[in-house]
Amino acid sequence: MIRADHIIKSFDGRIVLNDITAEFTPGITNLIIGQSGSGKTVLLKSLVGLHKIDSGNIFYNDICFNTLPFAQMKAIRKEVGMLFQGGALLDSSNVEENVRLPLDLFTNMPMDEKRDRVNFCLKRVNLGNVNHLYPAELSGGMIKRVAIARAIVLNPKYLFCDEPNSGLDPMTSVLIDNLIQEITQEYNITTIINTHDMNSVMEIGEHIIFIYKGEKWWEGTKHDILHTDNQELNDFVFASAMAKRAKAAEQQ
């Protein structure tokens, strides 16, 4: 469980996150949605401590994360997996080395065992025979999947995904979304996903937080989202043809 308690974040005096309070429970897919520039990435990076927040608190279970000394923060980070928007694989390492890096750094497993674990995770994201390819040789969807494999290799308790299907074709997007949802349920992970894609929202939106200009504007599930009278949320939701059709179908 992760809880944000009145967090505020600004850059050079410009407020980007304004008083956000939210709770994210394990085992379900928590979505943060909003337009580009609304502050989703900043929120996610603040939750993992890549950005230092101005005020408020962030709790991991009952531990106040943002005030922890660096060493203890690092201990928690070993339980965190993060999927970055562009994948963020290390260009100078091949797929196997990328996925293995967390094991190299934090375990004393023998090489065979590490290889097994890497192959298990790659198989979990439906990738085979790519161990010796470099990121430059992979497609966008494969990069995302390798990044997921790397994020789950240490069995994280917390998984953060920044726009996991941006830049992917619709079919691959659905695969990635479902994959994240499956992993979340399978290992009871606290998963937080940033997205501006209504397809994802309708597919895996078990708990949704809508961010508008840095503020939490609405909270609910994919079942409520078509029936809200919140103007800004409606504008966001029904900008997509898919949501319009879903609503029309319901009304028939």
Partner 1 sequence: MKKLFEYIGRYFILMGKVFSKPEKRTIYWQRILVEMQALGLSSIGIVAIISVFMGAVITIQMALNFESPFIPQYLIGYAARESMLLEFSSTIVALILAGKVGSNIASEIGTMRITEQIDALEIMGVNSASYLILPKIISTVIFFPFLTTLSMGIGIAGGYVLCILTGAVNPDAYITGIRYDFKPFYITYSLIKSSVFAFVITSISGFFGYYANGNSLEVGRASTQAVVISSIAILIFNLILTQLLLM
Taking CB under 5 A as the binding criterion, the range among 37-45, 178-186, 197-205, 235-243 that sits at the site for Mg ion is 37-45
Q: Which of 21, 27, 76, 87 is nearest to 53 (CA)?
A: 21
Cα gap 60→10, rounded to integer Å: 22
Selected from 50, 63, 64, 111, the binder of partner 1 by CB under 8 A is 50
Q: Is 40 in the site for ligand ADP (CB under 6 A)?
A: yes
Give the distance from CA 150 to its chain's centroid. 13
User: Please, what is the minimum distance in Å from the beta carbon of residue 220 to partner 1?
Assistant: 29
Rule CB under 8 A: which of 51-70 touch partner 1?
none
Q: Decide: 220 and 208 in contact? Cβ < 8 Å.
A: yes
Residue with tokens 């308690």: 5
Q: Name the helix (H) or strand (E) containing 82.
A: strand 80-83
Selected from 16, 33, 48, 53, the binder of partner 1 by CB under 8 A is 48
In sequence order, the 6+-apart residues with CB closer than 8 A to the CB of 118 are 96, 99, 100, 103, 131, 149, 153
User: Please, what is the minimum distance in Å from the beta carbon of residue 71 to Mg ion?
Assistant: 29
Q: Decide: 138 and 146 in contact? Cβ < 8 Å.
A: yes
Q: Is 38 in the site for ligand ADP (CB under 6 A)?
A: yes
> Which residue, 44 or 80, is less far from ligand ADP as judged by CB?
44
Cα gap 121→252, rounded to integer Å: 44
Q: Is 195 in the site for ligand ADP (CB under 6 A)?
A: no
Rule CB under 8 A: which of 94-123 touch partner 1?
101-102, 104-106
Q: Is 200 in the site for Mg ion (CB under 5 A)?
A: no
16 interface partner picked from ligand ADP, Mg ion, partner 1, none, CB below 5 to 8 A per type:
ligand ADP
Selected from 29, 30, 38, 41, the binder of Mg ion by CB under 5 A is 41
Site track 70-99 with partner 1 (rule: CB under 8 A), x = hit = ----xx-xx-xxx-xxx-xxxxx-------
Selected from 37, 61, 155, 239, the binder of ligand ADP by CB under 6 A is 37
Q: Which of 146, 149, 144 is nearest to 133 (CA)?
A: 146
In sequence order, the 6+-apart residues with CB closer than 8 A to the CB of 143 are 86, 87, 89, 135
| Residue ranges in contact with Mg ion by CB under 5 A | 41
| Residue ranges in contact with partner 1 by CB under 8 A | 45, 48, 50, 74-75, 77-78, 80-82, 84-86, 88-92, 101-102, 104-106
